[in-house]
Chains A and B, each alone.
Chain A
Amino acid sequence: MTTYTDQGKQDTRSGYGAGMTELGRTNANVVALCADLVGSLKIDTFIKENPDRFFQVGIAEANMMGMAAGLTIGGKIPFASTFANFATGRVYDQIRQSIAYSGKNVKICASHAGLTLGEDGATHQILEDIGMMKMLPGMTVINPCDFNQTKAATIAIAEHPGPVYLRFGRPKVPNFTPVDQKFDIGKALLLNEGTDVTIIATGHLVWQSLLAAENLENQGISTEVINIHTIKPLDEEAILDSVKKTGCVVTAEEHNYLGGLGESVARTLTGHRPAPQEFVATHDTFGESGTPEQLMDKYGLNNKAIEAAVLRVLKRK
């Protein structure tokens, strides 16, 4: 088992903030927009250092998305950020028409995604955003797993032409990917090699998958772990290469099983190499208030749930 060390818990949204700070210093075309959530998005340093490149739009997300589309006309690279719920569901039509269909180079940066925003409850816990965004033609969808990867992704998408949805979260989670790891959009990362089962995980569930894999390896189950940070375009080759070897899959994500990473993987397998698959995801439900840990436990989104899913899928091989 490849060993990964927690370099200290950090929130992925701070990775976004750190990425924005760097972009503020290195790319004069990058501009930031925010809808009254500057502190939550951790972009204070960017704003302090580049006040003329920041647009506070107030509690008006629809206008923010339209303005972001307009700012691209003239060569700016807008990073429009707010909570994931308000960055997607609330403004789907603005994203669809003014950004995606219009082919605008807008980066939609969404914090507090999934259940782990915790106590605020279901109104804020969007579990449908990956589905909505991946259905838009031309949209790139990225869900990094820790602070370092989120920072790297933030920097990488500035160089990537076209609309991007970058999803991250609120809680402090283990930071374990290398600090200098290059972020290749659309390129899966093989975290652990194995031969019995493939766990394909995104976002906060990647660390949970590594914890599960460690336990499984101790039980003699050789577990491959793949980090899919880019859900669209999906690295089908990496997935198929792994499943060719292991013959079964568990997908793990902090999202509804309808429309999420799991469905994208299932579609890939159906077309090329049908194999048993189990979905660690929420199952067509809203969330609720609670601590992130309680919620991940109750809704089956932690290492224990992943282990159980692996044992189930092995029986179906």
Chain B
Amino acid sequence: MARIQELQDLVVQVRRDILRMVHRVNSGHPGGSLGCTEFFVALYNEVMELKDGFDMDGKGEDIFFLSNGHISPVFYSVLARRGYFSLEELNTFRLIDSRLQGHPTTHEGLPGVRVASGSLGQGMSVAIGAAQAKKLNGDSYLVYSLHGDGELQEGQNWEAIMYAAGNQVDNLIATVDRNGQQIDGATEDVLPLGDVAEKFRVFGWDVLEIENGNDLNQVIAGLNEAKSRTGKGKPICIVMTTEMGNGVDFMMHTHAWHGKAPNDEQLKTALAQNPETLGDY
């Protein structure tokens, strides 16, 4: 119980970080970041086996790829709070000369990031390559990745999905953030994705679903279940239903906050709904 409370406190603090980061520069993507907060907190603090420090090759530890790079605020906050770089650096998000670019990149050498993402649909291929490298190296640790649901409209994903199943890339756990929203509206209105889980299944993946991706217990249980199914000949997909903008009442049930920052008043309201737990950066 105590452990869950610690993680829950971290979730709330990360939400505050996200809101403050995007507010400060009046840009960035709070919606998807808030929706995936539980996932990132669970992954980096409960599920992945990580070495101290950071090296690009990530041998002998689990590694993660963020394919939908626009939710960089949650990634940066969780990386900083896991100790990859100083919390103070969150102040530089999207500013000139920063390592915290609008979309994550290796270019400025930010610890924790292993590939640039932002142009959508590329992360799964990279994750598969890294998973194959682990197999060649006799490294039994896992590769995790996160993908937006709208991002699945990019065709490269389906090349990758086909490849991973056809080649038994069973050391990969790819999670799809099924928040049902994209920039122009609901995914099912813009370009229907239909039954995402079934699509992965018929491509040959082992699929499990997290019904409420904003319930920390469910996220941890789902990730651990996925982990237990690795090494059995199939890549693992988690279809995780989340609420974009979760934790801030006026940011939920809409796609409006996909790529928009709150103003001063809105920030105040949003922060009041997420009282400080571990200290603001």
Chain A contact residues, CB within 8 Å of chain B? 31, 52-53, 55, 57-58, 60, 62-76, 78, 93-94, 96-98, 101-104
Contact = CB atoms under 8 A, between A and B. Distances in A.
B231 interface: no
B116 A74 contact: no
A76 B134 CA distance: 10
B125 A65 contact: yes
Contacts of B117: 97
The contact size tier of chain B is 35 or more
9 contacts: A60-B162, A60-B163, A67-B128, A73-B133, A94-B122, A97-B122, A98-B125, A102-B105, A104-B115
B126 interface: yes
Interface of B: 56-59, 63, 65, 105-107, 114-119, 121-134, 136-137, 139, 155-156, 159-160, 162-163, 166-167
B159 A73 contact: no
A101 B132 CA distance: 22
Nearest to A57: B163
A98 B122 contact: yes
A60 B65 CA distance: 21
A101 B116 contact: yes
A23 B137 CA distance: 18
Find the residue from B105, B115, B121, B134 having the highest chain A CB count within 10 A.
B115
Given A55-B167, A66-B124, A70-B131, 8 more contacts: A57-B159, A62-B156, A66-B128, A70-B125, A73-B133, A94-B125, A96-B119, A102-B115
Contacts of A63: 125, 128, 156, 159-160, 163
Nearest to A65: B125
A69 B126 contact: yes
A67 B162 contact: no
A67 B132 contact: yes
A74 B125 contact: no
